[in-house]
Amino acid sequence: MLRFILGFIGAVFSVVLLISFFGNVSTYLTSPPPPSAEEEFHLHPKPLHLASDGLLGKFDQQQLQRGFQVYKEVCSACHSLNQVAFHDLEGLGYNEAEIKAIANQWQTEVPTVNPETGEASTRKALTSDKFPSPYANETAARAANNNALPPDLSLMTKARHGGAAYVHSILTGYRNQAGYKNEKGVELLKEFPTAKTPNGLHFNPYFANLNLAMPPPLTSEGQVVYAPGNPKPTVDQMATDVSAFLVWTAEPKLAKRHAAGLWAVLFLLVATVLGYFAYRNIWYGEKAVVRPTGALDPKNQVKARSAKRKAGIDG
């Protein structure tokens, strides 16, 4: 009786779930939810081609140095690189003296404690230090950025779908919302009057919810002055260079990993060819011979029959 009652309750529960499921599906198909502004106007990152792309990609050191310059003069005012140390800049082609000068002249000093008084203090950065945050703590960062917390950029190209292309699109994607139309020619504020960007935010269709707390960091050509012999510092060029630099901060050993992978593939190819020729030379002409063992061995079969006769067992 108890099993019947439990089975009946389970059946009722299953029927209710099925009715709910099919009811929701029917409602969705007959009355689908209206599209949101984010669904209609959010753009995927624009393609970005860097020297580090592909299986054989490697970094362009000159571009990385330009990207570091953009980070130092523009991005470091708000964003940290807490996974990167000053001595890592050796991978960008800087020598020891240049790295020491960069660390010593960095605009933000490293937090420390005065050993004599025990009070909080700061000091000049050393080459062994990580890049210090421009803010004392999260509260100070939010207070300076309209309650938005600027993310650390060390692993940004790994943490965002699209990687470097996402960073480049965000930096170059700021638009005037008034009159903005999507690829279908639909005007945003006419289709979604309530989607107007709030005060303190900035319209950027490459950001997930279209409104970004960060104001446009790259606003004009020549905002960062490159050394002679480098490309013209347009907004697009500066965004490309800093995106390449952030690929390096996220994976500084990328070129070595690509080289190791290439050698591993070549080794496996050579080993496969040598193994095939060894097989052809030694085993190809040999035929497989099946030797009966155990119960199939004729001697064992004779012994088995003899034992059965002695025991009076037929067969």
Same domain for 61 and 163, yes or no, is yes
Same domain for 106 and 190, yes or no, is no
Give pLDDT, residue 178.
Answer: 87
Mean pLDDT in residue range 248-263 = 92
Local confidence band at 288 (pLDDT 50, 70, 90 cut-offs): low
175: three-class secondary structure by DSSP: coil
Domain hosting residue 89, numbered range:
81-132
Residue 137 lies in a domain: yes
Mean pLDDT in residue range 38-47 = 90
Report the half-sphere exposure of 206 (CA within 13 A, side-chain side): 22
Higher pLDDT, 68 or 301: 68
Residue 203 lies in a domain: yes
168: three-class secondary structure by DSSP: helix
Give pLDDT, residue 281.
Answer: 84
Q: Is the pLDDT of residue 227 over 80?
A: yes
Q: Give how many domains the chain has, as a whole number.
A: 2
Distances (CA, A) of 23 to 34, 127, 128, 309: 19, 64, 62, 75
Give pLDDT, residue 116.
Answer: 74
Closest by CA to 103, choosing from 70, 134, 131, 69, is 131
Same domain for 94 and 146, yes or no, is no
User: Considering 211, 241, 256, which residue would you say is the last residue of a domain?
Assistant: 256
What DSSP assignment string belongs to 83-96?
EEEGGGGGGGT--H
Q: Is the pLDDT of residue 287 over 70?
A: no
Same domain for 250 and 103, yes or no, is no
Give pLDDT, residue 197.
Answer: 92
211: three-class secondary structure by DSSP: strand
Beta-sheet pairing, 202-203 with 211-212: antiparallel
Give pLDDT, residue 239.
Answer: 97
The enclosing domain of 51 has a CATH number of: 1.10.760.10
Residue 305 lies in a domain: no
Same domain for 149 and 217, yes or no, is yes
Q: State both tokens at 165.
A: 């292309």
Mean pLDDT in residue range 163-171 = 97
In this prediction the pTM is 0.78
Task: Say how far apart CA 70 and CA 89 lie, in whole Å.
Answer: 14
Q: State both tokens at 16.
A: 């209710």
Residue 5 lies in a domain: no
- What residue spans of the chain are helical by DSSP H? 2-30, 37-41, 61-73, 96-104, 138-144, 156-159, 164-172, 188-191, 235-250, 254-282, 298-310
Same domain for 45 and 98, yes or no, is no
Give pLDDT, residue 93.
Answer: 93
Closest by CA to 86, choosing from 134, 122, 123, 129, is 129
Local confidence band at 292 (pLDDT 50, 70, 90 cut-offs): low
Same domain for 124 and 46, yes or no, is no
Mean pLDDT, the chain, whole residue set: 89
Local confidence band at 219 (pLDDT 50, 70, 90 cut-offs): very high
DSSP assigned state of 193: G
Mean pLDDT in residue range 161-168 = 95
Mean pLDDT in residue range 180-195 = 86
Residue 261 lies in a domain: no
Find out whether 125 and 132 touch, Cβ atoms under 8 Å.
yes
Find out whether 229 and 223 touch, Cβ atoms under 8 Å.
no
Q: Is the pLDDT of residue 99 over 90?
A: yes
Same domain for 73 and 115, yes or no, is no
Nearest-5° angle of CA 210, CA 214, CA 215?
95
Same domain for 59 and 201, yes or no, is yes
Same domain for 126 and 139, yes or no, is no
Among 28-42, 96-110, 172-186, 221-235, name the one with the lowest average pLDDT: 28-42
CA 87 vs. chain centroid, Å, equals 24
